[in-house]
Amino acid sequence: MIKIKCVIIDDEPPSHIVLKNYIAKVGQLVWVYSSSNPLQARDYLRSNPVDLLFLDVEMPELSGLELLDSLQSRPKVVIISAHSEYAAKSYEYDAVDYLVKPFTFSRFLKAVDKIIAGSANTTEEQLSGGFFQFKENGIPKKVKYIDVLYLESIGNYIKIVTSAKTHLIKKTMKELENELSPQEFVRVHKSFMVNAKMITELSSRKLLLKDLEIPVGGHYKSQLDKLFGEQ
């Protein structure tokens, strides 16, 4: 059975108690992290892949929706709030559901069943995978991590290269290193980070991603050897 890793972010302690209790009753769900501080939670989410986020809207310093805006990669989200007025706004963020406090277990189950049904034919790798989210010519775009071949630094921008298309986002390589899992994307050069699962061949100065050749910097070679040896 695939386990769906759940995170709770809410500044009201009673909500944590209720949600943990509900999560424990559903075999496919597993609780992995809770926080009442959205800024601390943001740091956790940027370095730990999760599948489902139970997120309050009104919190000090950073609202739940502002937190979502700040994330490069978003897990699936169930918005929870004591107020119904944010319901329409929540679906602009592709929220799975909107739960108004206090909610019953049966209402909670209706929300998570949407996730469970969607994951029934999903591999664990796909379920845990994230995506790059950005705007291109004002249009929101998503690129799944599993579709990316490599990332190339161009000044303060990053080129995202897939087999089908190339995109440009305003990010630095250092920012991406802090956000992405080193098991998924590995830095191989001061200007390149590659999808580890796409590596087909490695030599002292270069590697191959299918038929694409990427330079390997000497500073990164030992780490890359270790990773490649484990594949």
Q: What is the dihedral of CA 170, 171, 173, 178, to 10 degrees?
A: -160
Amino acid at 86: Y
- The pLDDT of residue 227 is 62
Q: How far apart are CA 169 and CA 129, in angstroms?
A: 19
Q: How far apart are CA 17 and CA 10, in angstroms?
A: 11
Helix pair angle (105-119, 13-24), 10° resolution: 60
With a cut of 70, which residues of the chain have pLDDT below it?
Answer: 1-2, 118-129, 183, 225-231
- The pLDDT of residue 41 is 92
- The pLDDT of residue 17 is 96
Task: Report the candidate in 72, 123, 116, 120 with the shortest Cα–Cα distance to residue 96.
Answer: 116
- The pLDDT of residue 129 is 57
- The pLDDT of residue 191 is 94
- The pLDDT of residue 185 is 87
- The pLDDT of residue 57 is 92
Q: Say what the pTM is.
A: 0.55
Assign 3-class secondary structure to 129-155: CCEEEEEECCEEEEEEHHHEEEEEEEC
Structure tokens at 40: 């601390």
- The pLDDT of residue 204 is 73
- The pLDDT of residue 127 is 42
| SS3 label, residue 175 | helix
Structure tokens at 78: 């169930």
Q: How far apart are CA 96 and CA 29, in angstroms?
A: 15
- 31: Cβ contacts below 8 Å, ≥ 6 apart: 6, 7, 8, 19, 20, 23, 24
Do the Cβ atoms of 48 and 33 come closer than 8 Å? yes
